[in-house]
Amino acid sequence: MSQAVKEIKPVVEITPQAAEELKIYLQKQGKSEGGLRVFVSAGGCSGLSYGMVPEDKSTDDDYVITQHGAKLIVDKSSMPFIAGSMIDFQSDKLMGGGFVVKNPNAVSTCGCGESFKTA
Protein backbone atom coordinates (compact mmCIF):
# COMPACT_ATOMS: atom_id res chain seq x y z
CA MET A 1 0.00 0.00 0.00
CA SER A 2 1.55 3.31 -1.03
CA GLN A 3 1.12 6.54 0.85
CA ALA A 4 0.34 9.79 -0.92
CA VAL A 5 3.17 12.30 -0.79
CA LYS A 6 1.97 15.62 0.53
CA GLU A 7 3.58 18.61 -1.15
CA ILE A 8 4.65 21.22 1.36
CA LYS A 9 4.10 24.82 0.30
CA PRO A 10 7.20 27.03 0.74
CA VAL A 11 6.95 29.72 3.43
CA VAL A 12 7.71 32.34 0.76
CA GLU A 13 7.12 31.71 -2.93
CA ILE A 14 8.39 33.20 -6.19
CA THR A 15 6.46 33.36 -9.45
CA PRO A 16 7.94 31.69 -12.54
CA GLN A 17 8.45 35.09 -14.21
CA ALA A 18 10.21 36.51 -11.14
CA ALA A 19 12.39 33.39 -10.93
CA GLU A 20 13.53 33.88 -14.54
CA GLU A 21 14.22 37.58 -13.96
CA LEU A 22 16.12 36.73 -10.77
CA LYS A 23 18.34 34.21 -12.55
CA ILE A 24 19.18 36.81 -15.24
CA TYR A 25 19.85 39.48 -12.60
CA LEU A 26 22.12 37.22 -10.53
CA GLN A 27 24.06 36.17 -13.61
CA LYS A 28 24.66 39.84 -14.49
CA GLN A 29 25.85 40.42 -10.90
CA GLY A 30 28.31 37.51 -11.18
CA LYS A 31 26.37 35.58 -8.53
CA SER A 32 24.61 32.94 -10.61
CA GLU A 33 24.98 30.39 -7.80
CA GLY A 34 23.55 32.82 -5.24
CA GLY A 35 20.06 33.94 -4.41
CA LEU A 36 17.94 36.93 -3.49
CA ARG A 37 17.97 37.84 0.18
CA VAL A 38 14.56 39.21 1.12
CA PHE A 39 14.32 40.93 4.50
CA VAL A 40 12.21 43.26 6.58
CA SER A 41 13.57 46.21 8.54
CA ALA A 42 12.06 48.98 10.63
CA GLY A 43 11.38 52.14 8.66
CA GLY A 44 9.41 53.49 5.76
CA CYS A 45 6.23 55.51 5.96
CA SER A 46 4.17 52.48 7.08
CA GLY A 47 6.52 51.18 9.78
CA LEU A 48 8.30 48.23 8.12
CA SER A 49 10.24 48.13 4.85
CA TYR A 50 11.17 45.37 2.44
CA GLY A 51 14.76 44.96 1.38
CA MET A 52 16.27 42.75 -1.30
CA VAL A 53 19.93 42.17 -2.14
CA PRO A 54 21.82 39.54 -4.13
CA GLU A 55 23.49 37.10 -1.73
CA ASP A 56 26.17 34.43 -2.22
CA LYS A 57 25.80 32.67 1.11
CA SER A 58 23.20 31.75 3.68
CA THR A 59 23.61 31.13 7.40
CA ASP A 60 22.12 28.60 9.81
CA ASP A 61 19.58 31.29 10.78
CA ASP A 62 18.20 31.57 7.23
CA TYR A 63 15.36 29.91 5.42
CA VAL A 64 16.49 28.98 1.90
CA ILE A 65 13.69 28.43 -0.59
CA THR A 66 14.44 27.12 -4.07
CA GLN A 67 11.59 27.34 -6.53
CA HIS A 68 11.52 27.42 -10.35
CA GLY A 69 15.32 27.17 -10.32
CA ALA A 70 15.75 30.38 -8.28
CA LYS A 71 16.82 30.76 -4.65
CA LEU A 72 15.28 33.04 -2.00
CA ILE A 73 17.03 33.60 1.34
CA VAL A 74 15.03 34.92 4.30
CA ASP A 75 16.41 35.43 7.82
CA LYS A 76 14.46 34.07 10.78
CA SER A 77 13.66 37.51 12.21
CA SER A 78 12.04 38.62 8.92
CA MET A 79 10.10 35.43 8.29
CA PRO A 80 7.13 36.14 10.62
CA PHE A 81 6.45 39.38 8.74
CA ILE A 82 6.55 37.89 5.24
CA ALA A 83 5.50 34.24 5.67
CA GLY A 84 2.98 33.36 2.98
CA SER A 85 4.21 36.11 0.65
CA MET A 86 4.75 35.84 -3.08
CA ILE A 87 7.74 37.48 -4.76
CA ASP A 88 6.75 38.68 -8.22
CA PHE A 89 8.34 40.77 -10.95
CA GLN A 90 6.49 43.69 -12.47
CA SER A 91 7.59 45.39 -15.64
CA ASP A 92 6.94 49.11 -15.55
CA LYS A 93 8.03 51.15 -18.53
CA LEU A 94 8.01 54.41 -16.58
CA MET A 95 9.65 53.22 -13.35
CA GLY A 96 11.80 50.43 -14.77
CA GLY A 97 10.03 47.58 -12.97
CA GLY A 98 11.43 45.25 -10.37
CA PHE A 99 10.73 42.64 -7.74
CA VAL A 100 7.66 43.17 -5.57
CA VAL A 101 6.35 41.42 -2.46
CA LYS A 102 2.69 40.42 -2.34
CA ASN A 103 2.25 40.03 1.40
CA PRO A 104 -0.97 38.65 2.94
CA ASN A 105 0.21 39.83 6.39
CA ALA A 106 0.21 43.52 5.42
CA VAL A 107 -2.86 45.36 6.68
CA SER A 108 -1.75 48.59 5.02
CA THR A 109 0.98 49.71 2.63
CA CYS A 110 2.40 53.00 1.49
CA GLY A 111 1.77 54.36 -1.98
CA CYS A 112 5.06 53.06 -3.39
CA GLY A 113 4.53 49.55 -1.99
CA GLU A 114 7.94 49.40 -0.34
CA SER A 115 6.74 49.68 3.25
CA PHE A 116 3.89 48.07 5.14
CA LYS A 117 2.20 47.56 8.48
CA THR A 118 1.05 44.29 10.03
CA ALA A 119 -1.80 43.76 12.47
DSSP bridge pairs for 11: none
Cα–Cα distance, 51 to 82 (Å, whole number): 11
More confident residue, 52 or 45: 52
For the ranges 20-24, 48-52, 84-88, which has the lowest average pLDDT? Answer: 48-52
Structural domain spans, the chain: 13-118
pLDDT per position as a tens digit, 56-105 = 999 999 999 999 999 999 999 999 889 999 999 988 766 667 888 888 87
Judged against a pLDDT cut of 80, whether residue 5 lies above it is answered with: no
For the chain, the average pLDDT equals: 83
Res 64: pLDDT:
93
Judged against a pLDDT cut of 90, whether residue 50 lies above it is answered with: no
Res 3: pLDDT:
56
Res 2: pLDDT:
52
Query: Which class is 13-118 in CATH?
Result: mainly beta
Res 95: pLDDT:
62
